[in-house]
Amino acid sequence: MKIRPRSKKRRPTFRRLLKTSGVKLENKLKNRQLKQQNVAKKQRKEQKKLRQAVKDAVIRTPRPLETYRRRPGENEEEGEEEFLETLPTDMMEDGDLQQMTAMARQASFITRDLSSCGPVHGGKKRTSDVVRSYEKVPRKMARTEEKEVIHLLPIKDRTGVIPQSVEREGEPWSLAGLSAAEREQLRAQKINQMKLRIASLGSAIISDPVHNIKRLKELRGMLMESDPCVAVTIRKLVMVSLMEIFKDVAPTYRIRPLTPAEKAVKVKKETQQLREFEEGLVSQYKFYLEDLEQTIKDWKQKKKKRSQAVGFQSYRSLAEVSARCLCELLLALPHFNFHNNIIVALVPLMNDPVKKVSGMCCDAFKKLFHQDKLGEASLATVRVISGLVKSLNYNVRPELLRTLLSLRIKEVEMKKDIEDTAPKKKFMNNKEKKKQLSRMQRKWKKAEEKLDKELLEAEASESKEKKIKLHTETLNIVFLIYFRILKKAQKSVLLPAVLEGLANFSHLINLEFFDDLLNVLQSLIQSGVSISVFQSVHFFMLIFVCASGDVLNIDPLNFYSQLYRMLPRLHAGAPNDDIIIVLRCLDAMLTRRRKQVTLQRAMAFVKRLSTLSLHVLPNASVGILAANRAAVHSFPKCDFLLDNEVQGSGFYLPELEEPEHCNAQNTALWELHTLQRHYHPVVRQFAVHLSRGAPSEGSAALGVKLSRRSPVELFGDYSVKDMNFNPPVAPPATKKKVQESNAPSHVLSPIS
């Protein structure tokens, strides 16, 4: 038995077979892709040649291959006969001669480009038919007006992508003969159709945004509606619809672009869909914001568009809707992409001469400041405002600066001081642990300390430091704006807003700024600039805030006299916002400086404030009476004003403008008896309380709700800006109860 020699060639393993089969499949796919690319290139070259041939056939005019000059006096027929006679006919047959003559008369033979077309007998029937159809086109084309084309969605078949387009039809001839009512009816029908289309697209996107995000492009394309009858209405509807869709669809985080390395990594199908959704959402949101901004720019720059679908007069309403959409997105999506771009677009509109637009933008930024807890959006806004004020050379509206009063940075420094002074938790060192704890206890203590450290990090202690840093930088920019205006634009209309802002943030002013600020204020007084009552009140507030730091080098007695002099000139009507700053001034001048204020001065202010409370609005009366209550508590001897007896010599001089010499101790607060019959219940309650000496106990004492509120807070609580009673008036009693109360006693008594 012969033993076969063992083959040296090893059998391939299963893993090797799988590897080689995978390589073969990849090579087959690459070859197939290369073949498809080559076929596509050939098709593109053939199409290019065919287009070039058609273009040459249309442009070129038929001309003979060779021209001969006619002799003078020779007609056309004789010249043609002579041309035919010159041809060499000795080597041609009669049929060939006739064929050459016929071909010479045809323009297609003369103008045929042999380099771009295929051979005469080698082309397919389809190609020859195409060339013949192009040859039938006249060489001299008549000038026709270019028609507007609407590009539709393409169709894809086996051959490839086929573009689709439709010529835009103009207004039908029958529309010219319609009446106004019929035209309006037709317009309403078109608007209803477009509304249904917008609603269907919007509902599809909101119901499944991941798979239907591409429909945003179709909806955004409706912003270019060119039908003059419905263009303005449709564009407004699309703007508002897209705004609501983005507010509903946008995630609660900022989408960042993917890096090339992240794009190269293979991910799951769901992750890829989410990436495509985020990318499409960000791109469409960006295009939408650009459309809104461009609409506003066209209105501001008074640009006339080529298409007359929207008249220039209608661009103002479109710009107002665009600004409104931007304001809504500013408040609804402060965390999303392009928020700083929205701020840059809206801040210049705060200075717009159109009050509707500027008021809408100012209100939006006030709300943004109120809801901004961390401070990033506030800092970005303040930076843009600072640049705008400087670029316009301080020629801006005062309302723009008054929006800064809504910044939420009033108690940041106080919170920081509390955190600094709070006792920090002390961790045990190793020696203390060994002395006091056992081995198992040390182990548990170590785990507990580790957990405590992690919890401290999780409590966002880092975000608190970031918040304080952002607020400090914001406040520095705000003070920079104010100080620039005080130094360079003292006669500007912005001076009241600057003084109001400095008074509002006065408790946050750094001591390092006091010297410069006082120098500027002194130069303002010495320059003789005319200051209104409202500006003066803010000026006094600022002065006495600086005085509270014991760094004031000005005698404050003069400012007491000036404030006492202007109290009767305060506004008694609806715009009584100046009462708020007066109440703050009284708190800084009387209550906080009670040790530096004489009794005569305090009684003079209490008397004048009581007179002022008679002719102002109810909320102002409540605030002034609350300020009088604080003054009576600070100066208990003011109860002289509740007695009719005269204290000392002389008599009261109400017209004297010096509070120290008006003899206020010789008068009485008769205004309180008048205010006890006031229609406002809180005013009546305060009048009774003060007339009894402002007691803290008893029937005339105030409740907890009123006694613990400051005068400024009470002024805001009982505001009448909404033109209604605050608190509301109780409903009248029913007639039945009134009749029962007026009935005689024998009727109401039970029958015995």
Higher pLDDT, 89 or 324: 324
Q: If pLDDT is split at 50, 70 and 90, which confidence band does 500 have?
A: confident
The phi, psi pair for 68, rounded to 5°, reads: -125, 140
Could you give the 3-state DSSP secondary structure of residue 470? helix
What mean pLDDT comes out for the span 591-603? 88
Instruction: Tell me which amino acid residue 38 is.
Output: N
What mean pLDDT comes out for the span 434-461? 71
Match 């014991």 to its residue by tokens: 550
pLDDT score of 299: 87
pLDDT score of 456: 64
pLDDT score of 85: 53
Element (H, E) at 497: helix 495-504
Could you give the 3-state DSSP secondary structure of residue 166? strand
Higher pLDDT, 7 or 322: 322
**pLDDT at 514 > cutoff 60:** yes
Q: If pLDDT is split at 50, 70 and 90, which confidence band does 559 have?
A: confident
**Among 635, 625, 638, which Cα is nearest to 710's?**
625
Q: Could you tell me if residue 302 is left (phi over 0), alpha (psi between -120 and 50 degrees) or otherwise beta?
A: left
pLDDT score of 728: 81
Could you tell me how far CA 621 lies from the centroid of its own chain?
Answer: 39
pLDDT score of 380: 94
What mean pLDDT comes out for the span 128-133? 56
Report the C-alpha gap between 377 and 470 in whole angstroms. 10
* DSSP letter assigned to residue 729: P
Read out DSSP for 362-416? Answer: HHHHHHHHHH-SSSHHHHHHHHHHHHHHHHTTT---HHHHHGGGG-S-SSHHHHH
Q: If pLDDT is split at 50, 70 and 90, which confidence band does 519 have?
A: confident
In the numeric block, which tokens belong to residue 742?
A: 């007026």
pLDDT score of 751: 37
Q: What share of the chain is helix, strand, coil (3-state, %, to 5)?
A: 65, 0, 35
Q: If pLDDT is split at 50, 70 and 90, which confidence band does 282 have?
A: very high
Higher pLDDT, 737 or 639: 639
Higher pLDDT, 457 or 709: 709
Q: Is the CB of residue 375 less than 8 Å from the CB of residue 420?
A: no
Report the C-alpha gap between 228 and 308 in whole angstroms. 7
pLDDT score of 676: 93
**Among 638, 654, 615, which Cα is nearest to 691's?**
638
**pLDDT at 24 > cutoff 90:** no
**Among 286, 400, 386, which Cα is nearest to 341's?**
286
Q: Is 706 exposed, middle or buried (0-12, 13-18, 19+ CB in 10 A)?
A: middle
Say what percent of the chain tops pLDDT 70: 69
Higher pLDDT, 480 or 140: 480
* H helix intervals, 208-338: 215-221, 231-249, 260-264, 269-301, 315-332
**pLDDT at 488 > cutoff 50:** yes
pLDDT score of 379: 93
pLDDT score of 139: 55
pLDDT score of 726: 78
Q: If pLDDT is split at 50, 70 and 90, which confidence band does 375 have?
A: confident
pLDDT score of 312: 66
pLDDT score of 552: 52
Query: What contacts 481, CB < 8 A, 6 or more positions away?
Result: 385, 386, 389, 401, 404
Match 């509206």 to its residue by tokens: 397
- The pLDDT tens digits of the residues spanning 669-697 come to 999 999 999 999 999 999 999 999 999 88
pLDDT score of 377: 93
pLDDT score of 422: 45
The phi, psi pair for 125, rounded to 5°, reads: -65, -35
- The pLDDT tens digits of the residues spanning 695-704 come to 988 888 898 8
What mean pLDDT comes out for the span 265-269? 89
Mean pLDDT of the chain: 77
Across 40-49, 97-106, 362-371, 582-591, which has the greatest mean pLDDT? Answer: 362-371
pLDDT score of 419: 44
pLDDT score of 288: 95
- The pLDDT tens digits of the residues spanning 98-130 come to 666 666 555 444 444 444 444 444 444 455 555
Q: Is the CB of residue 347 less than 8 Å from the CB of residue 385?
A: yes
**Among 354, 355, 380, 353, which Cα is nearest to 365's?**
380
**pLDDT at 551 > cutoff 60:** no
Torsion of CA 675, 677, 678, 683, to 10 degrees: 60
